A and B are shown apart, each in its own frame.
Chain A
Amino acid sequence: MSGFRWLGVGAVLAACVGYLIYSAGGAAGNYYVTVAELRAHPPAGEVRVAGVVQDDVVRGEGGLLIHFTTAEGGARLPVVYRGPLPDIFQPGQQVVVEGRLDGDGVFQARSLFAKCPSRFTAAAG
Chain B
Amino acid sequence: MARAVTQKRKLIATLAAWTIGMAIFFPILWTIITSFKTEAEAIADPPSLFWFDWTLENYNVVNERSNYPLHFMNSVIISLGSTLLGLIIAVPAAWSMAFVPGKRTKDVLMWMLSTKMLPPVGVLIPIYLISRDLGVLDSRLALVVILTLINLPIIVWMLYTYFKEIPGEILEAARMDGATLKSEILYVLTPMAVPGIASTVLLNIILAWNEAFWTLNLTAAKSAPLTAFIASYSSPEGLFYAKLSAASTMAIAPILIMGWFSQKQLVRGLTFGAVK
Partners in one complex: no
Interface residues of B (CB under 8 A from A): none
- Chain A interface residues (CB < 8 Å from chain B): none
